[in-house]
Amino acid sequence: MAVLPGVIASSPGYLLDGISGAYGAYSLRQLSGSISNVCQCIRDSDSATQDFTAAELTNGTLANFGSGTNARVKTLYDQSGSSNDATQSTLLSCPSVVISGTAQVDATGLPWMDFDGSNDFIPLSTALPNIDVGNCSSFIIGKFDVSVGGTQEVLLSLGTTSGAKRWYSPTAYNGDFNWGYGNDWDHHQETQDTNVHLFSTIAGSTQGDWQPFIDGVSKTNKTLQTGASSGTYGIGGLNSTTAFELNGKVQEVIIFDSDQSANRSTIESDIMSYYNL
Amino acid sequence: MSFLIFSTKKEALNRTEQAGKDASLGYHDGDPNGCRYIWPVIEEGGANRGALDIEGHAHLLTEQEKAQLVSQLPADWHHPDDA
Domain ranges of chain B: 3-68
Of A12-16, A100-104, A206-210, A217-221, least confident by mean pLDDT is A12-16
Whole-model pTM over 0.90? yes
For residue B49, what are the contacts with CB-CB under 8 A and spacing of at least 6? B5, B6, B7, B8, B9, B74, B77
- The pLDDT value recorded for residue A161 is 86
Per-residue pLDDT reduced to its tens digit, B37-71: 999 998 887 768 999 999 999 999 999 999 999 99
- The pLDDT value recorded for residue B24 is 94
Q: How far is A71 from chain B (nearest CA, A)?
A: 13
> Among residues A127, A122, A76, which one has the least CA distance to residue A240?
A122
Q: Which of B35, B80, B82 sits opposite A47 (nearest CB)?
A: B35
Judged by CB atoms closer than 8 Å, whether chains meet at B57 and A240 is answered as no
- The pLDDT value recorded for residue B8 is 93
Judged by CB atoms closer than 8 Å, whether chains meet at B1 and A118 is answered as yes
CB-based contacts of B18-24 (< 8 A; 24+ apart in sequence):
B19/B57, B19/B60, B20/A91, B22/B60, B23/A47, B23/A91, B23/B57, B23/B60, B24/A47
- The pLDDT value recorded for residue A263 is 98
Q: How far is B83 from chain A (nearest CA, A)?
A: 5
Best mutation target, B35, B39, B55, B59, to test chain A (most A CBs within 10 A): B35
pLDDT at B80 over 90: no
Cβ distance B69 to B2 under 8 Å? Answer: yes
Cβ distance A265 to A7 under 8 Å? Answer: no
**What is the C-alpha separation between A146 and A193, in angstroms, rounded?**
8
**What is the C-alpha separation between A88 and A115, in angstroms, rounded?**
13
Query: Using 50, 70 and 90 to split pLDDT, how confident is the model at A2?
Result: very low
In chain A, residues with a C-beta closer than 8 Å to the C-beta of B35 are: 42, 47, 49, 74, 88-91, 94
pLDDT at A9 over 60: no
Q: Which of A47, A90, A186 sits opposite B40 (nearest CB)?
A: A90
Mean pLDDT within A32-43: 97
% of chain A exceeding 70 in pLDDT: 95
**Strand-strand pairing, A166-173 and B50-53:** unpaired
Mean pLDDT within A251-273: 98
- The pLDDT value recorded for residue A149 is 92
Mean pLDDT within A112-141: 96
- The pLDDT value recorded for residue A241 is 63
CA B18, B21, B26, B27: dihedral to nearest 10 degrees?
A: 60
In chain B, residues with a C-beta closer than 8 Å to the C-beta of A243 are: 43, 79-80
Say how many CB pairs under 8 Å bridge A and B.
84
In chain A, residues with a C-beta closer than 8 Å to the C-beta of B38 are: 90-92
> Residue A33 phi/psi, 5° resolution?
-75, -10
Q: What does the angle CA A223 – CA A229 – CA A234 come to, to the nearest 5 degrees?
A: 110
> Among residues A138, A134, A132, A135, which one has the least CA distance to residue A154?
A138
pLDDT at A3 over 60: no
In chain B, residues with a C-beta closer than 8 Å to the C-beta of A242 are: 40-43, 53
For residue A260, what are the contacts with CB-CB under 8 A and spacing of at least 6? A6, A19, A137, A202, A204, A267
pLDDT at B36 over 50: yes
Question: How confident is the prediction for chain B on average, in pLDDT?
Answer: 92
In chain B, residues with a C-beta closer than 8 Å to the C-beta of A90 are: 16, 35-41
pLDDT at A188 over 50: yes
Count H helices, E strands: chain A? Answer: 3, 21
- Identify the CATH assignment for A15-274 out of 3.30.1510.10, 3.40.50.620, 2.60.120.200, 3.40.50.720: 2.60.120.200
Cβ distance A179 to A230 under 8 Å? Answer: no
Q: Which helix (H) or strand (E) holds A256?
A: strand A247-256
pLDDT at A69 over 60: yes
Q: Which of A47, A88, A243 sits opposite B80 (nearest CB)?
A: A243
Mean pLDDT within A162-170: 94
**What is the C-alpha separation between A76 and A78, in angstroms, rounded?**
6
Mean pLDDT within A127-154: 96
ipTM comes to 0.94
Chain B within 8 Å of A48 (Cβ-Cβ)? no
Mean pLDDT within A99-109: 96
**What is the C-alpha separation between A45 and A59, in angstroms, rounded?**
22
Cα end-to-end distance, chain B, whole Å: 24
Judged by CB atoms closer than 8 Å, whether chains meet at A89 and B36 is answered as yes
Cβ distance A203 to A189 under 8 Å? Answer: no
- The pLDDT value recorded for residue A6 is 44
> Among residues A231, A226, A233, A208, which one has the least CA distance to residue A218?
A208
